[in-house]
Structure 1
Amino acid sequence: MSPIIIKTIQFFLSLSILIVLHELGHFIPAKYFKTRVEKFYLFFDVKFSLFKKKIGETEYGIGWLPLGGYVKISGMIDESMDKEAMAEEPKEWEFRSKPAWQRLIIMLGGVTVNFILAVIIFIGLAFAYGEQYVANDSLKDGIWVTDTTLGNALGVQTGDKILAVDGKRIEALNSIVPEVVYGEQITIERNGQKIEKEIPVDFIETISNNKENARFISQRSPFIIKGIPENSPNINTGFEKGDALVEIEGTAVEYLDQVSPLLEVNKGKTVNVVVERNGTTLPLLAKISDEGKVGVSLGFDSLEDYEKAGYFKVKQLDYTFLESIPAGWDKGVKTLTDYIKGMKKIFNPDTGAYKEVGGFAAIGGMFPDTWNWPQFWATTAFISIILAFMNILPIPALDGGHVMFLLYEMITGRKPSDKFLEYAQVTGFFILIALLLFANGNDVYKLIFK
């Protein structure tokens, strides 16, 4: 099956789950407070619906426009803009007739469910799979900066040890880049000295312009021969699996980042090398291709083999069910906190982060191109956090807009007029359309020009 089709199926499955549960977050408290719910829809049913069935007082259905979903609650100014119903005298089953605190709970239900859902998913992932990562502080000789453009922009180089971002110690190697993207200051150790560096304000833009190398910080890997293909120029020069290259033309080497420059200057040549095999050194002649390659596959068979060889430590965290609950909660809070940091960068034009705002194509691209349940659920949890945050923004037409007006009512004791709420709803609708066009326009621009 095509990777695009797999991504599309995952996108719509995830979106459907999140929309239905979000709307249930409104539906359940509404029913609990005896508020009539006229419609419950997955996707929007503009002009017509793909499916609908009325059960009791509520019509359940699936619309054709996959931009979200909704519950239509009686006596509430929402996207339906049902002015005729609002012109009538309030009924006891209507939203507008309920106490402000009940209306507030109904409006907060959706984002609450989104956040709780993300935490539940993170709990399940922690319990089922645990967590495995390379311990950042265990790197024997620091990091490998695989892209010097990004490394120079950040001010780090191969061999550095990255200690902290914004004063927070970095535990996992694979969390360095995400922390740097959201951070303001980086602490590194270079040649035994601790150095504090400001992260450039436009580093997000720099990394987005070089996306193919975005994961530019890695562990330093030794030149360990894993296999020798039959078409290798060195198939008969004496190399064996497990050999470690330790010298090229009299220059001591250990890591790939040390070997690559020497191969580059010796393209097309036969050079003297020394390998270490079973604790002893052995001189050999190696043929370097015109592309600067030795023609062998590299690396140990597993991360554990690197650990045994002393290059770094692999940390495996396994959780009991009870232990997975705080772990899932912490993951949910951190994901939300990081997303808020990212939003702050977006609203600062100097960062260039606004260029990375994406729409449906960007969200769909977050899913793996092969079916992988852990990645699917992790991505769904992340999107659920995004939906929770975006929906609580104080924009009319979003849950956060309704919450803002309800808090105003509860504090002042004065309820905004229906006419004002109608105008606010229309204004919020146009704001959302503008944001939607901007985000998806960014997707189209990247597709065409990048």
Structure 2
Amino acid sequence: MEGLIMAAQIILSLSILVGLHEMGHLLAAKMFGMRVEQFSIGFPPRIFSFKYGETEYALSAIPLGGFVKISGMIDESMDTEAMKEPPKPYEFRSKPAWQRLIVMLGGIIVNVITGIIIFVCLTFVYGEMFISNDMVNENGGIVALDLGEELGLKTGDQIVKINGQEVHDFSEILNPNTFMGSGAYYSVIRDGESKRIAIPDDFIDKMNSKEAQSNFVMPNIYKMPPVVGRVEAGSLADRIGLKPGDKFLNVGGVTINKFEDIQNVLKGYNKDSISMEVVREGETLTYNEYFGKDSVIGFAVDVPVEKKDYSFGQSIGLGTKKAFGIVFLQIKAFGKMFSGDLSVTKSLSGPIGIAKAYGGEWIWERFWSMTGLLSMVLAFMNLLPIPALDGGHVMFLTYEMISGRKPSDKFLENAQKVGMAFLLLLMVFIFFNDIFKEFLKPLIG
């Protein structure tokens, strides 16, 4: 069931984004009087279609892209026969270069606008949920896990700055931007002394997965207030009906001030029953329960999460910043890959990896967040100067506008073939890389 939910989310998301992208090309083309022959969401075989005016609109079966066929344009259809005829006034090739440039940028512009709108709306509707870094530092600092210790961090460190900038949201410590720059560093307070922990340029390669990030650092939950977060099914906490938000006052006759106090009581506890006092919504509840076969109470501590709401005006600025932050992160990632600091195989994800990022539960906030992210990534990827992508057409049109010379149709046809072959090989590589990462690598170990 989870697999179906993942697949449904990525199909819906890509259908929305591809449809809007191709609509950007279509509207720009029609604005300049170009004839649009076909508009398709997905690639053939066709599921259904209808014709309105001069354009056939279709929904096709392979939901990994789409296309707009504009008369007189060398594109993926490779309709070379039509290009042998004399140019007609309504054709793409008959229009001024600046108009053709706007048409090719139309899809990218719409994707950028879509991404901005999504992040603005998400910021306005949901605000921002965050763990206060000050709160973490006041409650024991971090727990340094394997990768954190490898970097030089230690349990109890208080991370106060990243690259000289104060840290307010604990998630900034794990933000990919932290590891993308050159000469990055953490400023920490350890045993009352300030220390600088350098982040090697290639450390991002070690942090390039959710599993690795969960093995880096975490808030020191043992020093946190003893408040119930998640209750484990079938545990003692579940049997007696503890609920998220319950706060422990006493366990086994010992006053509890932090989660670590509970751990200390349970170490070596050898009595058949255990007494507990918790406060729930101002009411104190007392329990005295059989504990003979248990070693834990069975709950995860609640790490306090704060929420910050924004006005619509504030959301416009912050949402736009988030959207373009994704593009800047992509640029940095490409730079890291070209320099060898970031593994290509670890970094590239195809449909399987993207579907997993949506998750096996349909959560609308996460769905739209992923859709906004994909919209900005698609805009960036389409702008790359590769023939067969919008960026390839933009590159040749820019050359034409600067030099005053238009590349020959034969050159454009060959460039399109080379670009399509490259993209096909890239898609095959990404797809099989997905299969290897998700299915084969866990078996190999």
TM value normalised by structure 2: 0.83
Structure 2, unaligned runs of 5 or more: 241-245, 280-288
Q: Are 1:177 and 1:215, in contact at CA under 8 Å, matched by a contact in 2?
A: no
2:361 aligned partner: 370
Q: Aligned partners of 2:155 and 2:13: how far apart in 1? A: 39
Equivalent residues, number: 418
CA contact (8 A) 1:347 1:354 kept: no
- 1:426 paired with 2:417, answer yes
CA contact under 8 A between 2:26 and 2:36: conserved in structure 1? Answer: yes
Measure, in 2, the Cα distance between the counterparts of 1:394 and 1:167.
Answer: 36
Q: Which residue in the other structure is 2:286 paired with?
A: none
Selected match of 2:390 from 399, 423, 428: 399
Q: Give the gaps of 5 or more residues in structure 1.
A: 279-285, 307-313
Question: 1:46-70 CA distances to partner (integer Å, 9 max, x unpaired)?
Answer: xx42212221111111222222000
Tell me the equivalent position of 1:310.
none
Q: Percent identity over the alignment? A: 40
- Corresponding position of 1:203: 203
Code of the aligned partner of 1:27: L
Structure 1, residues 130-177: CA drift from partner, whole Å, max 9, x if none? Answer: 1121222343145333x6211123322222222333444433112321
Q: In the TM superposition, what is the alpha-carbon distance from 1:408 to its structure 2 partner?
A: 0.8
In structure 1, how many angstroms separate the alpha carbons of the residues matched to 2:310 and 2:78? 49
Quote how far apart the aligned CAs of 1:231 are. 6.2
> Match of 1:60, SS?
strand
Report the AA paired with residue 182 of structure 1. M
The DSSP-based 3-state class of the residue aligned with 2:384 is coil
| Residues 152-171 of structure 1 aligned to structure 2 (within 5 Å) | 152-171=149-168
Distance 2:97 2:265 in 1: 72
Q: Which residue of 2 aligns with 1:320?
A: 311
Match of 2:441 in 1: 449
Asked whether the equivalents of residues 38 and 72 of structure 1 are also in contact (C-alpha less than 8 Å), the reply is: yes
Amino acid of the residue matched to residue 12 of structure 1? Answer: I
Report Cα offsets for 1:420-439 as digits up to 9, x if no partner: 11111111111111211121
CA distances 1:16-37 after superposition (whole Å, capped 9, x unpaired): 0000000011111100000111
**Residue 186 of structure 1: CA displacement?**
2.0
Q: Deviations over 1:188-232 (max 9, x none)?
A: 222333333332333333234771653643322236264899964
Once the two structures are overlaid, the 10-residue window that deviates more, 327-336 or 205-214, is 205-214
- In terms of mean alpha carbon deviation, does 336-345 or 385-394 score higher? 336-345
* SS of corresponding position for 2:307: strand
Opposite residue 206 of structure 1, the aligned amino acid is K
In structure 2, relative to structure 1, the CA distance for the partners of 1:257 and 1:396 (3 Å cut) is farther
Find the aligned partners of 1:295 and 1:189 in 2 and give their Cα distance.
34
Tell me the SS of whatever aligns to 1:397.
Answer: coil
Equivalent residue letter for 1:17: I
Distance 1:258 1:85, change over 3 A: farther
Q: Contact 1:202 / 1:352 at 8 angstroms: preserved in 2? A: no
User: Pairwise CA RMSD of aligned residues?
Assistant: 3.5
**Cα distance in structure 2, aligned partners of 1:448 and 1:218:** 29
Aligned to 1:20: 19
**Closer/same/farther in 2, CA of residues 67 and 299 from structure 1, 3 Å limit:** closer
Amino acid of the residue matched to residue 325 of structure 2? Answer: K
Letter of the 2:404 counterpart: G
Contact 1:267–1:289 (CA<8 Å) still a contact in 2? Answer: no
Q: Which residue of 1 aligns with 2:116?
A: 119
**Alignment partner, residue 142 of structure 2:** 144
Amino acid at match of 1:400: G
Partner of 2:128: 131
| SS at structure 1 position matched to 2:358 | coil
- Of 226, 246, 251, which residue of structure 2 is paired with 1:224? 226
Matched, 1:408 2:399: yes
